[in-house]
Amino acid sequence: MKRVGIVAKPDAGEARAVVGRLIEWLGARGLKVLLEKETAPLAPDAGVSQASRTELPGQVDFLIVLGGDGTLLAVARAVGDLGIPLLGVNLGGLGFLTATTLDEMIPALEAFLQGQMVIEERMMLAARVRRSERSVSELLALNDVVIMKSAMSRIIDLSVSVEGQSATAYRADGLIIATPTGSTAYSLSAGGPILFPTMDAVVLTPICSHTLTARPVVLPGTQRIEVTLFSNQEVMLTVDGQVGVGLRERDTVEVQRAASRIRLVRFPQKHFFSVLRTKLKWGER
């Protein structure tokens, strides 16, 4: 490892001090540091190279993400199929994906340089919107792909097919299509199951379905899912709750496992169930 990229949430309270500390620590070990352009103003006198968020992953061997889960999700989509390992350091709230605390940051980097950290691979989803058989949008998601009505819209009608075979229909506020990583996010809040994050699977979770028989479904990650909208009202497709595109009646959203996988760095002892207990109070009575 020779080149390390740093991306920080600029308005995080401790971001400026942490970025400066990282630049000094990494430089002392002979590592070249590159800052994301929106992060660079936090260290104006550092004299290090800069790159846009889309360009940065292609210029480094390792990425440190300072912020919350939202920051890491955005960076993960920018990394795409490059396979750059990501270390998420929590400067935000829940920090489910950015599970490394600020106090653990330097020990984590030391352990990574010594080959003592675990690298977990997480599947992503590729979503494509088809309109009159023409592709109008293509998006990547680490957490989820969500089809949802606007605040003032009525219940929407959705038809779902799996591998070209009719599967089910929903009359609901929307539908969440989540990865195992995203199973502990919006899908969980909507009543979906928790999946182990390194599984190869997809969860379909309806949002406030109009029928009691509609329940979350877990599918193999190899399955191609198509959701067709049969409502003429305001409906949005969003990925990871950050990027969206408006849908029209008869649009079809095609979702399948992306070719790219995201590699997250963690301590060996900080396994999934310990994070569940810490962040979601899993198993407490």
User: Which residues are known catalytic residues?
Assistant: 69
Q: Under a CB-based contact definition with an 8 Å cutoff, are residues 260 and 123 in contact?
A: no
Report the alpha-carbon distance of residue 273 to residue 111 in Å, rounded: 21
Q: Rounded to an integer, what is the distance from CA 156 to the centroid of its chain?
A: 26
